[in-house]
Amino acid sequence: MVKLSDIVLIITAYMIGSIPTAVWIGRVFFRTDIREHGSGNAGATNTLRTLGKRAGLVVLIIDILKGWLAVGLICVSGYASGSAQWILLEVTMAVAAILGHIFPIYVGFKGGKGVATTMGIIIGISPVIALLCTLVFALVLIVSHYVSLASILAVLSFPFWMMSVYNQHYIVLTIFSLILPMVVIIMHRKNILRLLKRQESVLYVFPKGGRK
């Protein structure tokens, strides 16, 4: 039976995920709506390209913290850590936070793609798996220079790390880890088309001038 406190936590997770970091920072500090520039995505990468490194870094950090906090609230649920109720509610809160980022209630339900918030969620669920996903992201970005490709492959690696790291079989977490990459691929469908056409924007981690 679903408790009222569970519903409150799920709604809270959605509201936290809905915080439109890129939109608010763009409006307050740059008098611009980030969704009307660049790729039109209200996320860290578009903020970086449109508003600069500092703004992009702030958006990235806050969006990651959103995901971490959204699932971190599970600690006040009253359920035993690792129990079936705990895992089910944690996954539901994670889904709510991601939906909040993609469809934020505060700014007309037009948000970002949810990658940074998803990383925060993974950190909340398992810091070890988050580190492994981050390593995949960093390696792909350094080699390919495509943020979108790095994001997609990092999240695609999530189910593999889940099944490799966890000794116990959490069916709900496994299903979540398999569905999450599908959501990321759907949100990056335009990026995938541009990648296939070799028209996707690149981002160099290291200055090109320092490359011999």
- pLDDT, tens digit (0-9, with 9 covering 90-100), for 97-115: 999 999 999 999 999 999 9
For the chain, domain boundaries: 4-201
Tokens 């609230």 correspond to what residue? Answer: 73
| Mean pLDDT within 144-161 | 94
Yes or no: say if 17 and 70 are a contact pair by the CB < 8 Å rule: yes
Q: Residue 149: what pLDDT? A: 95
Burial (CB count <10 Å: 0-12, 13-18, 19+), residue 58 = middle
pLDDT of 13-67, one tens digit each? Answer: 999 999 999 999 999 999 999 999 988 889 999 999 999 999 999 999 999 999 9
Residue 103 has what DSSP assignment? S
Q: Residue 23: what pLDDT? A: 95
Q: What is the DSSP string of 120-166?
A: HHHHHH-HHHHHHHHHHHHHHHHHH--HHHHHHHHHHTHHHHHHHH-
Q: Which residues contact 21 (CB under 8 A, 6 or more apart)?
A: 42, 58, 59, 62, 63, 66
Yes or no: say if 119 and 180 are a contact pair by the CB < 8 Å rule: no
pTM attached to this predicted model: 0.90
How far are the Cα atoms of 53, 103, 155, 160, 184 from residue 39, in angstroms, in the given order?
Answer: 16, 17, 21, 30, 16
